[in-house]
Structure 1
Amino acid sequence: MLKSLSIKNYALIENLHVSFDNGLSIITGETGGGKSILLQGLSLILGKRADFSSLKDNSIKCIIEAVFDITNYDLKSFFKDENLDFDDQTIIRREILPSGKSRAFVNDSPVQLKSLQLLGERLIDIHSQHETLQIVDDNYQFKVIDALAGNASMLKRYREELNQFRVVRKELDKLMKLKSEVIKEQDYNTFLLNELLEANLVEDELVELEEEYETLNNVEDIKEKLATSYQILNDEEQGVMSRLSELKTNFTKLANLSSNYNNLFERIRSSFIELDDIQIEVDRLLEHLEANPERLEQVNARLGILNNLLLKHGAMDLRELISIRDQLLEKCSVTENLDDTILKKEAELLEKQKTLDHLSKDIHEKRRSAIPNLKQQLETILKDLGMPNAKFSIQLNYTTNLFSNGKDELLFLFSANKGGNFLELKKAASGGELSRIMLAIKWVLSNYIKLPTIMFDEIDTGVSGEISNKMGEIMLDMSRSMQVFTITHLPQIAAKGHYHFKVYKEDINNITQTKLIRLNHDERIVEIAQMLGGIEMSSSAIAHAKELLN
């Protein structure tokens, strides 16, 4: 319930603080007195977007704060989901800064407007003639029937199962789409894979083949250069080995004469041994080097295959090409297992479907059983509200479609006059009739589910006399199980309240301000008497006011 409301620097309100109690609270005031400003301020607490132009003084911030007792609202899971600190006495605060920015807080934790709106829906239901249109909405009509049917727990389970069903169906759709794509690509992927498998790719092969190709392709030139090198080393007169042999002989003799030449002798001897080994290696290379046109053709063909594959797949080297081959292997293996996976997923989806069918059937049966009771209650209460010929035809059809609340389609038809045709509510009822129908529905709902605080904003427009008296009794009856506010111009309704607040304007230092005060018993007599007879109250108006209050 709403415990208190504070508004600072909003529209015509400079500083307002008021406390509220459970039961039925009446709010009255002259037209233009500021009741709409009060509602607009409260709407900000419920997540409505802020408007900088609403600041009374745009040099300081506007603060609107409300305290709620949410002990019996079963909101702990909501607070946990929204990552908010739970407190039985929850404080919601909105701030509009001079910069135009707006901030929202729940128990001093900053929140997004979306979270505030979700919380607000669970705390206060502001009902005006505009909100009356929600009764023509299917979702709201289902809410009413399900309240009477006691479907809350079953609907919760149905929605959980439906979410799981949708997840599985999405997974199956993804698999089927993959299969369709795979089928299109399968032949091509298989061709590419076989091509790569037949190539017998080896990571370092390309480098080795390129070296072999260069050797085979230049064999005559290589042979010529090796032969020349061998001749340089082995010429009998001018060859390097012959001249180095003479040099070695000279230094052998010098080393025998003096140890000063030993180092040079050892270096010459080592060079002789190294060059002798080079000579042997050059001779070996010459001996094994020969032209091989057939092998050259094979190497060239192999290089052509590998380079074409690199170009075809856009690979930089054989390592990347091998990676592409392995990816194709994986794709093709997935294709083989895909049908089994799809069959398992289809079986899982079928089980979910059976569960949903069973739950939706039970929900349907409970709704069907509740409809006569709802119809009877609404028609009875509307008769008391001056609509003696009001009749409902509520049609519930079980379909094959899975909706968010079952498999039913609902047709809520209404006739206001005897012998009249049944039509959709929005076509069959006037604005005033819709207001009375909504009041009747709210009353029925309050007997079955825990409703949030409700505020009726001039729902009694267009009615008077005994009907307004009955409206007041209905709201009073609702207030026994919930907190009810009603903004009214009718004295018959105003007299029903446990508490009475008056909204009025007052000029202070030539500045108009909106005020809200709680009336005591004597002040209520005066206010109701003025509602009956105007500012100039007669003794009969005062007597009538006292009679209404008693």
Structure 2
Amino acid sequence: MLKQLYIRNFTLIERLDMTFNGGFSVITGETGAGKSIILGAIGLLKGQRADSKLIKRGSEKCVIEAHFNLSRYGMENFFNDNDVEYDADDCIVRREITAAGKSRAFVNDTPVPLSVLKELGEQLIDVHSQHQNLLLGKQDFQMEIVDIIADDKDLLDNYRKAYGDYREKQCQLDDLQERLTSNKANADFLLFQYEELDRANLVEGEQETLEAQANQMSHYEDIKTALYQADKAMSAEGTGVTENLRTAINALHSIEGVLPMAGELASRMDADFIDLKDIADELEGQLDKVDFDPKELDSINDRLDRIYSLQKKYHCDTVSQLIEIRDNLKKQLDGIENGDYDLQQVKNEVDKSMKLAIQKADSITKVRKTAAKKIEEEIKQRLVALGMPNIQFTINLESSELSADGADKVAYMFSANRNMPMQPVAQVASGGEIARLMLSLKAMVSGAVKLPTIIFDEIDTGVSGKIAEKMADIMCEMGNNERQVISITHLPQIAAKGATHYKVYKEDRGDTTVSTMKLLCGEDRVNEIAQMLSGSDITEAAISNARELLKMKSEE
């Protein structure tokens, strides 16, 4: 529950530090006194969007901090999952906003992203404001109430896994059908393309080999001339390198008996002679092989033209890419041929997954119907006690197509009069009737969900007198059930029922106006309730009436 709320430099609040108690508390104050400001601050602790305009004029930063006691609510796993220190007796949630527009959030002094703050805030405080009454006409909200009372979270989780598997397989089926339809429509064209590439008898690396051969043939004269000149320089009679080197070697060997070093030089030249003779022989062989066949060049160029043409047509640059395209076309053609079989296989998987999802959805429907009956009975009892003796209320659950929430659609049907047919609640219920119905639903939900703190923001709109007292009794009941309930109210009948009473008011400080809040006790509380009864001019009758209301509270 909320133990303490600290606010500094937030709109009209300069500094506020309030301690809260468990059970049922009330907050009162004139319109515009600043109750909505306090709710706005709590909203920031719940992860709502921050705006630097909310900072009190002239301040650099606003701080909102709340302390919670979580010892009864088993929330340790949340803190462990988010790597935040857990303190069940004193959980500190803080939000800071700077004039520069920066916002920071902390839980137990650990910085956390806004998403974590929002998730935690939803588990700590439920703020029910007037605009939330509009949710009563929304099917999502109506179904959420049924699911909470049905306690079907595990069933829903299991169903959603099965439903997700079904949707995934259905998408696979849709994609396959689309591909097959498209491929069948283009089957003739695909076959033409495949056969064209297949007839080309493409070979990896042939383009590079053919281009090298074509390049050599186009330089035939240059190659022939160069080889002839090299061969002549190496082997020509009388002037060739090898013949002259052989002559030099023989001359040196002839004098090696008288000049030993001549023999060493001759030996070294022998090795060079062998290498040069090999080179000369290879040159001669290459010269004999060099030949030019115009027909062969034409054939090579024709093959290259065929390859280039295919590359241009299929928008690629290599023979490897053409081969890949050919192979992919073959796969598509094989897929068309085997498509009906593959399609049937996927259809079988879709049918199987759909049957499983339907089976799990049926289980959810059963528990929802049981919960709907329970809600109907309790809501009727509560609304009769809240001054609606002829209430008719039914929850219609009808079958629908599979969705993420099951196979049901829900409608809350309502009539406040015995002789009037029931219609959707949002269409026929008045503001006061909706307020009473929402309070009754919240009371039911609070018994099923361990929510530490519930704040009602003027849920009593449209009611008065004895009905207001009955609504206060319900909030007291909720507050006595191990939770904290705070009601912001303009009704003295409700204000008098609070175990603790706070007042929000404005006061002038110098040239500024600030909002603040204080705990009311004794005569201060009597005067506040008397003012709510009679207005600004407090009469003795109002004072007496206020005392009587507070006395009734103390006697309960």
> SS at 1:355's partner residue?
helix
Which ranges of structure 2 fall in alignment gaps of 5 or more residues?
552-556
- Kept after mapping to 1: 8 A contact 2:105/2:112: yes
Distance 1:244 1:406, change over 3 A: closer
- Kept after mapping to 2: 8 A contact 1:129/1:431: no
Is 363-372 or 403-412 further displaced after alignment? 363-372
Task: Report the counterpart of residue 66 of structure 1 in structure 2.
Answer: 66
Alignment deviations for residues 125-166 of structure 1 (CA, whole Å, 9 cap, x no partner): 222221111111111111222334343332232233323333
Distance 1:74 1:134, change over 3 A: farther
Aligned counterparts of 1:451 and 1:257: Cα–Cα separation in 2: 118
Task: Report the counterpart of residue 53 of structure 2 in structure 1.
Answer: 53
- Kept after mapping to 1: 8 A contact 2:242/2:273: no
- Kept after mapping to 2: 8 A contact 1:232/1:239: yes
> SS at 1:378's partner residue?
helix
Aligned counterparts of 1:53 and 1:436: Cα–Cα separation in 2: 36
Task: Report the counterpart of residue 210 of structure 2 in structure 1.
Answer: 209
Is 412-421 or 175-184 further displaced after alignment? 175-184
- Kept after mapping to 1: 8 A contact 2:194/2:330: yes
1:112-511 matches, cutoff 5 A: 112-180=113-181, 195-196=196-197, 198-213=199-214, 240=240, 244=244, 251=251, 255=255, 259=259, 281=282, 284=285, 292=293, 295-318=296-319, 345-399=346-400, 401-481=401-481, 482-511=483-512
User: TM (normalized to structure 2)?
Assistant: 0.83
Aligned counterparts of 1:123 and 1:249: Cα–Cα separation in 2: 107
Distance apart, 1:41 and its partner CA: 1.6
Distance apart, 1:79 and its partner CA: 4.4
Distance 1:84 1:172, change over 3 A: farther
> SS at 1:450's partner residue?
coil
Distance apart, 1:117 and its partner CA: 2.9
> SS at 2:130's partner residue?
coil
Is 276-285 or 226-235 further displaced after alignment? 226-235
> SS at 1:122's partner residue?
helix
Aligned counterparts of 1:188 and 1:42: Cα–Cα separation in 2: 67
Aligned counterparts of 2:390 and 2:459: Cα–Cα separation in 1: 21
Distance apart, 1:442 and its partner CA: 1.6
Task: Report the counterpart of residue 109 of structure 1 in structure 2.
Answer: 110
Aligned counterparts of 1:454 and 1:167: Cα–Cα separation in 2: 40
Alignment deviations for residues 172-231 of structure 1 (CA, whole Å, 9 cap, x no partner): 444445555655676666655555555554444444434544566677887788778878
Is 336-345 or 485-494 further displaced after alignment? 336-345
- Kept after mapping to 1: 8 A contact 2:435/2:462: no
Aligned counterparts of 1:382 and 1:334: Cα–Cα separation in 2: 65
Aligned counterparts of 1:234 and 1:6: Cα–Cα separation in 2: 107
Task: Report the counterpart of residue 554 of structure 2 in structure 1.
Answer: none
Distance 1:417 1:192, change over 3 A: same
Distance apart, 1:387 and its partner CA: 2.8
Task: Report the counterpart of residue 32 of structure 1 in structure 2.
Answer: 32
Task: Report the counterpart of residue 519 of structure 2 in structure 1.
Answer: 518
Distance apart, 1:376 and its partner CA: 3.3
> SS at 1:394's partner residue?
strand
Distance apart, 1:486 and its partner CA: 0.7
Distance 1:290 1:19, change over 3 A: closer
> SS at 1:144's partner residue?
helix
- Kept after mapping to 2: 8 A contact 1:149/1:366: yes
Distance 1:90 1:258, change over 3 A: same
Task: Report the counterpart of residue 544 of structure 1 in structure 2.
Answer: 545
> SS at 1:6's partner residue?
strand
- Kept after mapping to 1: 8 A contact 2:5/2:65: yes
Distance 1:413 1:276, change over 3 A: closer
> SS at 1:349's partner residue?
helix
Alignment deviations for residues 61-104 of structure 1 (CA, whole Å, 9 cap, x no partner): 11001122334445455445555444434322111112232222
Distance apart, 1:333 and its partner CA: 7.2
Aligned counterparts of 1:253 and 1:449: Cα–Cα separation in 2: 114
- Kept after mapping to 1: 8 A contact 2:253/2:262: no
Aligned counterparts of 2:246 and 2:148: Cα–Cα separation in 1: 120
Distance 1:91 1:341, change over 3 A: farther
> SS at 2:364's partner residue?
helix
Which ranges of structure 1 fall in alignment gaps of 5 or more residues?
none
Alignment deviations for residues 341-388 of structure 1 (CA, whole Å, 9 cap, x no partner): 655554443333222212222222333334344333323322332333
- Kept after mapping to 1: 8 A contact 2:2/2:68: yes
The alignment status of 1:18 with 2:27, answered yes or no, reads no
Aligned counterparts of 1:72 and 1:233: Cα–Cα separation in 2: 105
Is 123-132 or 165-174 further displaced after alignment? 165-174
Distance apart, 1:539 and its partner CA: 4.5
- Kept after mapping to 1: 8 A contact 2:33/2:506: yes
Distance 1:278 1:436, change over 3 A: closer
Task: Report the counterpart of residue 100 of structure 1 in structure 2.
Answer: 101
Alignment deviations for residues 285-327 of structure 1 (CA, whole Å, 9 cap, x no partner): 5655666555445434433334434444455455555566666
- Kept after mapping to 1: 8 A contact 2:489/2:495: yes
Aligned counterparts of 1:475 and 1:227: Cα–Cα separation in 2: 114
Distance apart, 1:409 and its partner CA: 1.5
User: TM (normalized to structure 1)?
Assistant: 0.84
Distance 1:267 1:545, change over 3 A: closer
Q: How many residue pairs were aligned?
A: 548
Distance apart, 1:48 and its partner CA: 2.2
Distance 1:117 1:297, change over 3 A: same
Aligned counterparts of 2:421 and 2:155: Cα–Cα separation in 1: 35
Distance 1:63 1:262, change over 3 A: same
Task: Report the counterpart of residue 533 of structure 2 in structure 1.
Answer: 532
Distance 1:536 1:223, change over 3 A: closer
* Identity rate, percent: 39
Query: Aligned AA for 2:403?
Result: F
> SS at 1:7's partner residue?
strand
Aligned counterparts of 1:38 and 1:319: Cα–Cα separation in 2: 71
Query: Aligned AA for 1:546?
Result: R
Quote the RMSD (CA, aligned, Å).
3.9
Distance apart, 1:484 and its partner CA: 0.8
Alignment deviations for residues 445-478 of structure 1 (CA, whole Å, 9 cap, x no partner): 3344434522111222332221111111111112
Aligned counterparts of 1:64 and 1:225: Cα–Cα separation in 2: 92
Is 31-40 or 540-549 further displaced after alignment? 540-549
Aligned counterparts of 1:405 and 1:368: Cα–Cα separation in 2: 15
- Kept after mapping to 2: 8 A contact 1:161/1:356: yes
Distance 1:146 1:205, change over 3 A: closer
Aligned counterparts of 1:491 and 1:86: Cα–Cα separation in 2: 40
